[in-house]
């Protein structure tokens, strides 16, 4: 799917409904116990911006973006209203290939911690920190950060015992889950701010895996 680097309007996204989701198969056994099978190794995020669109100018802003993406055809950056920043205490770099580390956002701790891959960090916000024998240093200046994959290239002076963390902001790669954009005027006269009120019912947006 083509990715278009035009974020969904952030002032609308700020009030969108957010829902992280997992895919779980659950089987009830004859004994009354239940068995589960986790189908997904990464969660998937769903959003609904319908309730965030209240006036005609909101609708026009979303409509311009919707038409740019041709409905469901293209993906784009979406700023999760409740979860778009990572502190160094939860941001880790996990080595995926020789000379490259993937930015991950770690939820929880211990053996049950969940590492979420971050593929669309926000340009200019990422800081990389190296922990060498307990001494933490900001090495952002020597790191090559891809803001289209979330992969960080080898840092200069890297040693085998070094550990890396990061902090910053990120987008969620998403697409619209509709090809028709709903909208209806709900008042005949402009409101106190001089705008007509609009009702959109639902504008579903879904995360795209990268």
What pLDDT does residue 191 have? 67
In the block, residue with structure tokens 């950056």: 77
In the block, residue with structure tokens 């080595």: 95
- Determine what percent of the chain falls in helix, strand and coil, rounding each to the nearest 5: 10, 40, 50
What pLDDT does residue 32 have? 87
Query: 57 with 129: CB under 8 angstroms?
Result: no
What pLDDT does residue 89 have? 94
The domain locations on the chain are 1-83+171-210, 85-170
Residues in the chain with pLDDT values less than 50: none
pLDDT digits (tens, 9 = 90+) for 26-81: 999 888 899 999 899 999 999 999 999 999 999 999 999 999 999 999 999 999 99
What pLDDT does residue 160 have? 73
Query: 203 with 47: CB under 8 angstroms?
Result: no
Query: 164 with 197: CB under 8 angstroms?
Result: no
**Among the residues of the chain, which ranges form H helices?**
10-13, 56-68
């Amino acid at each position: 799917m083509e990715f278009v680097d035009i974020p969904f309007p952030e002032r609308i996204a700020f009030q969108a409904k957010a829902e992280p989701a997992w895919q779980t198969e659950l089987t009830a056994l004859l004994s009354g116990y239940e068995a589960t099978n986790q189908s997904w190794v990464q969660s998937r995020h769903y959003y609904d911006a319908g309730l965030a669109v209240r006036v005609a100018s909101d609708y026009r802003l979303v409509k311009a973006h919707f038409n740019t993406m041709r409905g469901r055809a293209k993906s784009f950056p979406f700023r999760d209203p409740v979860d778009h920043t990572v502190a160094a205490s939860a941001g880790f770099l996990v080595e995926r290939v020789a000379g490259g580390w993937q930015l991950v956002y770690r939820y929880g701790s211990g053996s049950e911690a969940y590492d979420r891959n971050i593929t669309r960090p926000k340009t200019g916000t990422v800081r990389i920190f190296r922990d060498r024998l307990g001494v933490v240093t900001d090495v952002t200046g020597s790191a090559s950060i891809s803001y289209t994959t979330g992969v960080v290239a080898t840092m200069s002076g890297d040693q085998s015992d070094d550990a890396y963390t990061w902090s910053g902001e990120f987008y969620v790669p998403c697409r619209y889950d509709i090809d028709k954009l709903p909208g209806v005027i709900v008042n005949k006269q402009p409101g106190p701010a001089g705008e007509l009120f609009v009702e959109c019912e639902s504008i579903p947006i879904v995360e795209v895996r990268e």
